[in-house]
Chain A
């Protein structure tokens, strides 16, 4: 898009998409802001007039606010950590020439196609159920007492379930990145006397930097609003109440739209703080 003419043409062509997106995002945002200043209780009197900043103060001063922020960040951080580390490992593994590569790759990618609700239910009932879950059988086989995963180790369980879902995504992106690594670079490093671990640290890992950044940024966006996995497993109990789950409870269980909307605005602020931090830490990798 070099010339003046092509630039203005481009703007014109882009306009419909931009306007649609703006409307799509602005309308809910403005409605959230609007309701957050209202005293709006649909089943208990409806619109009871303006509330000022009362919803905001009530939401933060509630005893579940800070724990929910902490839970959100722990889940996001835990899942990112597991998926990136295992993703790199799996990507390297899948990149090796081996028998049945195509099938193995499909199997690795498969979890991504399972809907979050379904996969959480499968984990809950088939693996983690203390009576007839597979893990319970495994524990019993070794003579141990089955663990009540979702109540006694709720956070690790949820992090496991979510990581299982997102691992294929991370693996896929990292695999394509590894495949684009020039093999001559590795050979040059080998001739330069770098051992396999050093080749990984000095050549492969820096090459993966950009892909890892993409994985972290995209996963963070989705993980901040994780909901279904918590809804069908613990229902927010046992210290697994994330910010988005707290908002859900305020709006639907307590039927307080105003309070929930204020929480929504806090969620936006949290997401932005996380985004700023992430861009500071990993964003420079995106510059060519």
Chain B
């Protein structure tokens, strides 16, 4: 079980209020991702749930029971830190055994769980090494192993992949998703990388300055962002925002169109502009189009290669049914 409920939780450090009253329910077995820009309070929120920080007011319930003033160890949650926080003077085996040793699990059971975890995480050959003798990815897996053996009711991850290189990050992303499918345990995952959020989450929580901007499945957030902030944050490259008379024609203060919902043409189209930088990814090309008279730059995603060069004129055709409309406060107009 791992149902976590936050009820009007707030957190202040001295005079600075980091988390204004916040309500959130995380259901058992869900993979929830907290995403938001740096400094928005993701880590703080996670640490509040973990019990590493005290809430200033409000209540945290775990499986229906009040856990607001419960010690971290009593909450049956396991956390994987950004720095991994492995114990450097202990072997991998002892690191993984540590929580079980503290809980008084008997030796035979410890051994069984360590071996199972090591097998699942490809660590069998490294059990007698020290953390200092492992690569970043291996350390990450040890940290996850240490969390698994406790059989917690929920896992908390704080940007666990941010110290890894891009290729490894993709791998570990898959491994963690796979782990979630096997264990079916609640996982709360903090990241500022919207790709991680989109690919891993059952439910994304978008935060800004401690506020929840929107909660929903990745596709809900992609298709129906509740406001301009979410619209700009989810999706890569970023959504284009256009204000002024064009927006007014659609009865909105701002309209938004994603780069993948615009087609570029050499001959004809609704909007006209000049090609700036073109980023060639092989599978796609991102065109940065200037001088459209709409906004500074419009980003367009073109499938495959595109013939136009820097300085050429290009015509753009937005897919009108994929247009997002926002009012003057930045809220979505249905």
**Interface residues of A, Cβ cutoff 8 Å to B:** 182, 184-185, 187-194, 198, 202-203, 206-207, 209
Verify B85–A184 contact, CB threshold 8 A. Answer: yes
Residues of B within 8 Å of A187, CB to CB, are 52, 72, 79, 81, 85
Is B229's beta carbon under 8 Å from chain A? Answer: no
> What residues on A are CB-neighbors of B146 within 8 Å?
188, 192
**A-B contact list, 15 entries, CB within 8 Å:** A185-B87, A187-B72, A187-B85, A188-B81, A188-B146, A189-B87, A190-B73, A191-B50, A191-B51, A191-B72, A192-B102, A193-B73, A193-B102, A202-B98, A209-B89
Docked CA distance A202–B71 (Å): 19
Q: Are B52 and A190 neighbours in the complex by a CB distance under 8 Å?
A: yes
B102 touches A198 (CB 8 A): yes
Do most interface residues of chain B lie in helix, strand or loop, or is the interface mixed? loop
Min Cβ gap A226→B in Å is: 33
Known: A184-B83, A192-B146, A207-B88. 13 other contacts (CB 8 A): A182-B85, A184-B82, A184-B85, A185-B85, A185-B86, A187-B81, A187-B85, A191-B50, A191-B72, A191-B73, A192-B150, A206-B87, A206-B89
Which residues from 282 to 296 on chain B have a C-beta closer than 8 Å to any C-beta of chain A?
Answer: none
A186, closest chain B residue (CB): B85
Interface flags for B102-128 (1: CB within 8 Å of A; 0: not) read 110000000000000000000000000
5 smallest CB-CB distances across A and B, nearest first, come from A192-B99, A193-B73, A188-B85, A193-B102, A184-B85
Q: Is B205 an interface residue (CB 8 A)?
A: no
B interface with A by C-beta (< 8 Å): 50-52, 71-73, 77-79, 81-83, 85-90, 98-99, 102-103, 146, 150
Cβ contacts under 8 Å, A193 to chain B: 73, 99, 102-103
Contact yes or no, B98 A189, CB < 8 A: yes
Partner of B72, one of A190, A202, A203, A207: A190
| Shortest Cβ distance from residue A169 to the other chain B in the assembled complex, whole angstroms | 24
In the complex formed, the residue of B with least CB distance to A194 is B102
Complex contacts, B87 vs chain A, CB 8 Å: 185, 188-189, 202-203, 206
Docked CA distance A190–B99 (Å)? 9
Q: Which residues of B contact A206 (CB under 8 A)?
A: 87, 89-90
- How far, in whole Å, are A238 and B73 apart by their CA atoms in the complex? 55
User: Which residues of B sit under 8 angstroms from A185, Cβ to Cβ?
Assistant: 85-88
Q: A187-B52, A194-B102 are known contacts. Are A207 and B89 too (CB-CB below 8 A)? A: yes
Instruction: Name the one of A191, A202, A203, A207 contacting B52, with C-beta atoms under 8 angstroms.
Output: A191
List A contacts of B102 (CB < 8 A): 192-194, 198
Complex CA gap A191/B73 in Å reads 5
Using Cβ atoms and an 8 Å threshold, which residues of chain A touch B82? 184
